A = this chain, B = another copy of it.
Amino acid sequence: MQGKPLTVPDDGLTTKQRRNRPLVIVHTGPGKGKSTAAFGLALRGWNQGWDIGVFQFVKSAKWRIGEQTALEALAAVHAETGQGGPIEWHKMGSGWSWSRKEGSDEDHAVAAQEGWAEIKRRLADEQHTLYVLDEFTYPMKWGWIDPVDVAETLRDRPGTQHVIITGRDCAPEVLEIADLVTEMTKIKHPFDAGQKGQKGIEW
């Protein structure tokens, strides 16, 4: 639901300027739904005609093939009819889509760094309206990518570019510059009762 501002900030911006301010959104915490909610937001962006780039930073259960296939179907609808917006999907573990290298023997730290370097180029070029950096907290957590560089790059990015970051244990430097942070907490989970993941639910 649309909320009312609790306070009016003294930032010299009009309500409309604040309304259209680009956001950094973080979905973190140990519960389910961090990435799923990010892809749900991509549905809204698609309907607004936004240019969307998805960047997956670690191997996920079956590579989120359900979401990828569905979003690529929406990208095809856009290409054929003009409805919605374009969507690109890039993943690290088998070699980034823009790179020619095959990924089987790649160094994961180097691959993560290449991914972030490309995202920095795209942010500088204002290439997308919405960036989904899926499981991007982990390469920061593992020391492969500097969270200070991420925080400064996102804080200083030009234009109107929204960025969603998902994953557990987000670096405090990134939380500090984020506009919206939601934590997903597990209350009850079928794995606790001895059940394994199943298609359609887990991937």
Contact = CB atoms under 8 A, between A and B. Distances in A.
Contacts of A61: 1-2
A183 B182 contact: no
A65 B47 contact: yes
A203 to B, nearest CB: 7
A69 interface: yes
Number of copies: 2
- Residue from the set A31, A33, A193 with the largest chain B CB neighbour count within 10 Å: A33
Given A43-B67, A73-B84, A84-B70, A191 B5 contact: yes
A199 B190 CA distance: 35
Contacts of A38: 40
Interface of A: 1-9, 11, 15, 18-21, 23, 25, 27-29, 31-33, 35-41, 43-48, 50, 60-61, 65-67, 69-71, 73-74, 76-77, 83-84, 129-130, 162, 175, 178-203
